[in-house]
Amino acid sequence: MKKLLLTIALGTAVVLAGCGEKKEEKKKFSYERTKTEAKAAKTTATSQVPVDMENKGIGPIKEVVFGDIDQAMVSRGEEAFKTKCTACHKTDQKFIGPAMTGIYDRRSPEWVMNMILNPAQMQKEDPIAQALVEEYKGTLMLDQNLTEDEARDIAEFLRTL
Ligand code: HEC
């Protein structure tokens, strides 16, 4: 009887130890997988989302003409960006949303301004915005209720990044 109990106790200990090991292995595995996935997401970040410079987006902005950079607009835009956008965007790296550097290499100015002014409709109906929402796993850019002038200032600031 004593022996049996001991065997049971030992058995349980082995099983428990076994479980512990397995759990640890599993944890390690998923940690590594997350790391690999994160790396993969970084390297393929732009390839999943279409680049279409002809796409002007959906919203109030039909045409934006960029001339020489206007410094007064840039400083106003920078201030507005700091208060309304940095909760989700960093300029040079991915954060809650995409990095802003080089935005006009992949999006038209009209698209950028319509995304700022009319994100909800863009997320529903525009193919690029839809792909971005997918890439950002459903995290949605929020409407910051900017005026067209404020959005234009920010659009000017983004040119300097
Ligand atoms: C609540 C977080 C949040 C805020 C605030 C926010 N954004 Fe976004 N932004 C996102 C996310 C997430 C995306 C990717 C699209 C999506 O999932 O809606 C995005 C996408 C964008 C894009 C398209 C980027 C690309 O690579 O095509 C631009 C441009 C942009 N945001 C500019 C701004 C500006 C300018 C502001 C401030 C007025 C701002 N965003 C405020 C989260 C945010």
* Residues 6+ away with beta carbon under 8 Å from 123: 129, 130, 132, 133, 140, 141
Q: Report the alpha-carbon distance of residue 147 to residue 117 in Å, rounded.
A: 8
35 pLDDT more than 60: no
Tokens of 149: 């002038």
Contact 91, 161 (CB under 8 A): yes
Distance CA 25, CA 106 (A): 42
CB 58 within 8 A of CB 122: yes
Using the predicted structure, report yes or no on whether residue 10 has a pLDDT greater than 50.
no
* Phi, psi at 20, each rounded to 5°: -55, -45
Looking at the chain, the whole-number percentage of residues with pLDDT higher than 70 is: 71
Position in ligand 1 atom list of the atom nearest CA 122: 18
Q: CA–CA separation, 53 vs 107, rounded Å?
A: 5
> Could you tell me if 158 and 98 are in contact, meaning their C-beta atoms sit under 8 angstroms apart?
no
Q: What is the dihedral of CA 85, 89, 90, 93, to 10 degrees?
A: -160
Compute, in angstroms, the gap from residue 122 CA to the centroid of ligand 1: 11
**Rounded-to-integer distance, Cα 128 and Cα 113, Å:** 14
Where does ligand 1 bind, in terms of residues with CB under 6 Å? 84-85, 87-89, 96-98, 103, 107, 112, 115-116, 119, 123, 132-133, 136, 139-142, 144, 146, 154
Per residue in 61-74, pLDDT (tens digit) is: 999 999 999 999 99
pLDDT tens per residue, range 92-127: 999 999 999 999 999 999 999 999 999 999 999 999
Nearest-CA residue for atom 29 of ligand 1: 112
Return the closest-CA partner of residue 126 out of 104, 136, 111. 111
Residue 12 vs residues 6, 21, 40, 61: alpha-carbon distances, Å: 10, 14, 41, 69
pLDDT of residue 102: 96
